[in-house]
A and B are shown apart, each in its own frame.
Chain A
Amino acid sequence: MSAAPVSVRAARDRARSGSGRGSGSGSWSGTRGLLRLALRSDRWRVVVWAASVAVLMYVSVGSYDRLYPTADARAARAALIESPAATALAGPGYGLDDYTLGAMTANELALWVMIPVAIMAVLAVTRNLRAPEEDGRLELVRSQPVGRGGPIAAGLGAAVVAVLAVGGATFVLLLATSLDPAGSALMCCAVVAVGLVFAAVGAVTSQLAAQARSASGLGMAAIGVALVLRAVGDIRGPESTSVWTWLSPFGWSQATAPYTLDRWWPLVVPVVVAGALVVVAFALAARRDLGAGVLPDRAGRAHGRIGTVLGLTWRRQRTSILSWGAATVLSGAVIGLLASAVQDFVDDQPSLGDLLPPGADPVASAFALYAVFLGVLALCYAATAVGAARVDEDAGRAATLLALPVARARWLGAQVLLAATAVVVMLVVAGLVMGATAASTLGSPDQVGTLLGAATVTVPGALVVLGVAVAVLGWLPRAFAAVWAYVAYVGVMSMFGEVLPDGSDALSPYTYLPRLPADDMSWPPVVVCLLVAAALVTVGLAGFRRRDLRA
């Protein structure tokens, strides 16, 4: 349906470009129409990404300002962040000897804006470039006077607009802080540079893989590799002195050292690399058939062993479960390794114990916060699992199964069961790993049990989010975007609830669950959360049984 205006515009564009530029039959024609289409379908996504990232940055800078008001406090923080385990999650450590708010922001917060921007850029490109090709929409568009390069240019254009929106919104909100505007401008440009590189990476992976899911998966893997490279590099050599750092787009952008050295020249690297990757993407696109990938598609089995909805769901979800599980467990390991650094930090500066969330033991408070972070990772997976069920329904794959003797409750219930099991296993394993690494770095074996408990007690919270997703799918499938909003809300409230106005976290389960090991164990909230989760799932299944299938 939406192809009609595109074709009209493409034709008009072609007519307008005339013979002078010779692009009428060239590979670029129709780009403008496609770009307009991509921006139109992405406009709310862009607004939500830009607003959430910018607000998160603004709030974090504000809370850092409040938590570390004095030079002494900041120096202690610098000592903590210098430890290898903390460096892995922060930056190259510019300005640690005079750790200003700006240096803190660039060193500790910038990475956490760059990561979502990189993810957003990859998703924007694969969504606007590979997904339409996969489901055949692009065939319709390409049969119009649209060149081979048009879809790539439009997909990249949509990602660039999104990246610029995030960078611009962040910059505007940072103007409202006490940070130096010049440094903020550089930092936001560095964030944009990361987005550009990963948009170009997405354009290349979209040529390699024949499915949007594989293309974005390859892009995510590239982000993961880049994060590991910069972590290794920054641990081996602070202030971007390691070669490893210079192999990572995150390393390039962090090498600008905003608020301290304020260097612009490192940004030449991402611009050149992004340009080169775009050239590669166009070259690959010119070499392959529409609908195919460069990577060969191997022939599969002529017969299958899958015979249940649960088996099918496992087959479809296992890559996702293993990826999210790996992210959760690795985070647990890093947190465990951080334990001694936190301990040293508190030992050196006993007065700073007040800066961490209130509780008897500052180390325990830090662990309590990290454990909730693991819970948030697991609940993100749970929401994507229910989102996958919704996609299957819209694609008509649910109808194919439900026309068999398969009850609706069984179809959705099996997927919920697998998601819930995955959440429990992820958090238990992550808790064990966190406990084991903490026990070895702190030399106290009882940490294994303590931290296993801390991670496990976050399970009911993740299950509540799972229940919310199922309830929305069952009753208001069209409003499924609300689930992502709720996931973001729970994530932000769990990590930043302390610095936000009272009561704003009232709808997050983690507000009520005991924060182990800082708090004492308390069963009533755990039981209530489990009951709420069970009730939400039951209500959701009941709604799904009585509503019309969407397709």
Chain B
Amino acid sequence: MTDAIAVEGLVKTFGAKRALDGLDLHVATGEVHGFLGPNGAGKSTTIRVLLGMIRADEGRATLLGGDPWREAVELHRRLAYVPGDVNLWPSLTGGEAIDLLGRLRGGLDPARVRDLVERFELDTRIKGHAYSKGNRQKVALVAALSADTELLLMDEPTSGLDPLMEALFQEVVREHAAGGRTVLLSSHILAQVEALAGRVTIIRQGRAVQSGSLDELRSLTRTAVTVAVDDPAAATAALAPVDGVHHLRPQDDHLAFEVEPDGLDGALRALAGAHVRSLVAHPPTLEDLFLREYSDELAALRVPEEQ
């Protein structure tokens, strides 16, 4: 399988600030790829490089097999983009904006537009300046999702949508991706990415710090285990020497601990003779994965890690 997006060692500086600092990003054709990072990590800068709006200082970026800067116009026929902060033309209605964006692309599927307008409950007769942020985003989403393109780039596309519309958004993106389209979804709504993306890249200060399928990433992280046993003291003694067990602590009449993937087997063996009454194991959530990469920043913000 080829990569729809291949980025290697991308560097972009704005004055003294290194917005991208050797970023790598690979998005395989046909996958929904989550692109995670807090504000200012470089997500939008990366997407703007991929759209040919800014030029990287160093590194290579390939989009759908082409150069995003030199072949921008040809590549843009094959992709659609949803910005996070949609600014419409104040005097044009939403419907006029959707039709304009469609015509400049060379045509939208009118049935698809009607369907999306209806499902997103968008009033297309309102002028651009009178729309709320969420409604401006709906205009951009309708225009992008009714285009038949190979690739969909979205930069925090739902920050103004309510939870119902967020659920609808996820459903629509799933339908869109089911046709074999590639989606790059930049977001800091982790539940959204977890629901949609097969693979994710977590970036920090302009660099990718984690990249892989959610399963792969989970396997790199500890599982949280809560276990009820008849004799907590004996169980504690048995678990303590096992490699890969961390944060072992009594909790009421339970024991709680975290265990690395390689230590799971040993931990289960140690518990085998301890009369286990119940056992709950949580695989790490995307939020755990994400916060682990940012644990030092959490500490700097004085947020206790256990929360």
Contacts and interface: CB of A to CB of B under 8 A. Distances in A.
B87 A400 contact: yes
Given A303-B99, A315-B91, A396-B86, 6 more contacts: A301-B93, A304-B92, A304-B98, A304-B100, A404-B104, A406-B73
Interface of B: 48, 51-55, 72-74, 76-77, 79-81, 83, 85-93, 95-101, 103-106, 124-127, 129-130, 140
Interface in A175-215: 210-211, 213
A405 B99 contact: no
A312 B89 contact: yes
A213 B91 CA distance: 10
Nearest 3 A/B pairs, CB to CB: A304-B96, A307-B103, A300-B93
A406 B76 contact: yes
A405 B105 contact: yes
A301 B125 contact: yes
A401 B95 contact: no
A400 B99 CA distance: 13
A273 B80 CA distance: 54
A210 B125 contact: no
B74 A304 contact: no
Interface of A: 134, 210-211, 213, 297, 299-309, 312, 315-316, 395-397, 399-407, 546, 548-549
A400 B155 CA distance: 12
Contacts of A404: 76, 101, 104-105
Contacts of A301: 93, 95-96, 125
Contact of B87 (A302, A397, A403): A397
A315 B92 CA distance: 9
Contacts of B130: 210, 297
Given A308-B104, A407-B73, A399 B83 contact: yes
Given A302-B95, A405-B73, A406-B76, A134 B129 contact: yes
Is the contact region of chain A dominated by helix, strand, or loop, or is it mixed? loop
A299 B126 contact: yes
Contact of A396 (B73, B74, B83, B99): B83
Contacts of A400: 83, 86-87, 101, 140
Is the contact region of chain B dominated by helix, strand, or loop, or is it mixed? mixed
13 contacts: A211-B90, A211-B91, A300-B126, A300-B127, A301-B125, A302-B124, A304-B99, A306-B99, A315-B92, A399-B51, A399-B83, A403-B76, A405-B73
Given A297-B127, A395-B87, A549-B48, A401 B92 contact: no
Given A211-B90, A403-B51, A396 B105 contact: no
A304 B95 contact: yes
B73 A213 contact: no
Contacts of A134: 90, 129
B87 A396 contact: yes
A299 B123 CA distance: 10
A290 to B, nearest CB: 13
B80 to A, nearest CB: 8
A477 to B, nearest CB: 13
Contacts of B140: 400
A305 to B, nearest CB: 8
A539 to B, nearest CB: 19
B142 to A, nearest CB: 12
A399 B55 CA distance: 14
Contacts of B87: 395-397, 400
B96 A306 contact: yes
Given A211-B90, A395-B87, A405-B106, A302 B125 contact: yes
B53 A303 contact: no
Given A211-B129, A407-B72, A549-B48, A399 B89 contact: no
A301 B93 CA distance: 7
Contacts of B105: 404-405
Query: Residue among A211, A301, A403 with the most chain B CB within 10 A?
Result: A403
Nearest to B54: A548
Query: Residue among B73, B79, B97, B126 with the most chain A CB within 10 A?
Result: B73
A303 B83 contact: no
Contacts of B74: 405
Contacts of B81: 403
A306 B93 contact: no
Nearest to A403: B81
A403 B63 CA distance: 13
Contacts of B80: 403
B152 to A, nearest CB: 11
A234 B140 CA distance: 54
A275 to B, nearest CB: 31
A405 B125 contact: no
B91 A307 contact: no
B53 A399 contact: yes
A301 B97 CA distance: 10
B90 A213 contact: yes
Contacts of A406: 73, 76, 104
A297 B125 CA distance: 11
B97 A304 contact: yes
A211 B79 CA distance: 33
A303 B125 CA distance: 8
Contacts of A306: 92, 96, 99-100, 103
